[in-house]
Amino acid sequence: MSQVGVSVRGLSLSFGSAEVLRDLDLDIAPGEFVALLGRSGSGKTTLLRVLAGLEEPSRGTMHVPQPRAVVFQEPRLLPWKVVWENVALGLRGPDVRQRAFAALCEVQLERRAQAWPLTLSGGEAQRAGLARALVREPKVLLLDEPFASVDALTRLRMHDLVVELWRLHEPSILLVTHDVDEALLLADRAVVLEDGRIAAQIHVAARRPRDPTAAAFVMQRRELLALLGVQTGSAQRSTSEKVAVSLEIS
């Protein structure tokens, strides 16, 4: 048996009487890039938090390879530590400083290594968060809407950066997002969460970098939006189209 990815079976989680995750199964292969979509309240952030070890599931089994790392929606940098110290937070072993600086180089933030976090722009802060996750050489990287609060141009650059770093380090990635385009641009597979379980998934086969104007992209985009309950102008699809986008409904 070679490498094992993320494996979740029969996962349930309740907050009081509210069941947020219901009997959920999910596999992420080693090095696979999965985007997790869903309407607000569908439980996608909760699922990420369970995988991050921040919530105890009520039922079910899961295997998450270690080390795992998280990039949060807000950067969550400690404002009283300069950037490189934030990256080095909790690192053990020798050469902590060098490793932190190397990670900052990878996200092109080395010249801000000595800056206070509150002086960073939104994009810089998120790159610092990314460096803080990558410096741990994670087998599983959990991204919780990390690009939601940065401007559109910065987001495009961050997308390229994430794909580049993913190719370099080959972690399994779970990206929680509400942005259909982001999911289709980045991920191997887009998973739709509804009422606490996986409702559908779409495999994205196109080579990266992907062209959002390509016919297949537009089709999958429409597909995904429909799964999320958004009716686009031309929502009428033929059965053959459905097959073409290799839609799987579990």
Partner 1 sequence: MLVWQLGSMMGWIPSTKLAPPSAVLGAFWTLTVSGDLLRHLTVSLTRVSIGLFIGVAIGVQFALIVGLSRIGDDVVDPMMQMLRTLPYLGLTPLLILWFGIGESPKIALVAFASAFPVYMTLLGGIRSVDPKLIEAARVFGLGRWETIRHVILPGSLAPALVGLRYSLGAAWLSLVVGEQINADRGIGYLIMDARDFLRTDIIIVGLLIYAILGLATDAIVRGVERYALAWRPSMLRPSR
Rule CB under 8 A: is residue 97 a binding residue for partner 1? no
- Report the side by side order of strands in the sheet with 6-15: 18-28, 6-15, 59-63
- Report how many residues bind partner 1 under the rule CB under 8 A: 22
Distance CA 199, CA 231 (A): 17
Contacts to partner 1 from residues 221-240, by CB under 8 A = none
CB 31 within 8 A of CB 37: no
Distance CA 25, CA 89 (A): 33
- Residue from the set 127, 132, 139, 221 that interacts with partner 1 by CB under 8 A: 132
Tell me whether residue 4 or residue 115 sits nearer to partner 1 (CB atom): 115
- Residue from the set 116, 137, 203, 246 that interacts with partner 1 by CB under 8 A: 116
Q: Is 106 helix (H, G, I), strand (E, B) or coil?
A: helix
Burial class (CB in 10 A: 0-12, 13-18, 19+), 179: middle
Rule CB under 8 A: is residue 15 a binding residue for partner 1? no
Choose the stretch contacting partner 1; rule: CB under 8 A; options: 21-29, 68-76, 98-106, 226-234: 68-76
Rule CB under 8 A: is residue 111 a binding residue for partner 1? no
CB 149 within 8 A of CB 71: no
Tell me whether residue 171 or residue 245 sits nearer to partner 1 (CB atom): 171
Choose the stretch contacting partner 1; rule: CB under 8 A; options: 6-14, 66-74, 165-173, 202-210: 66-74
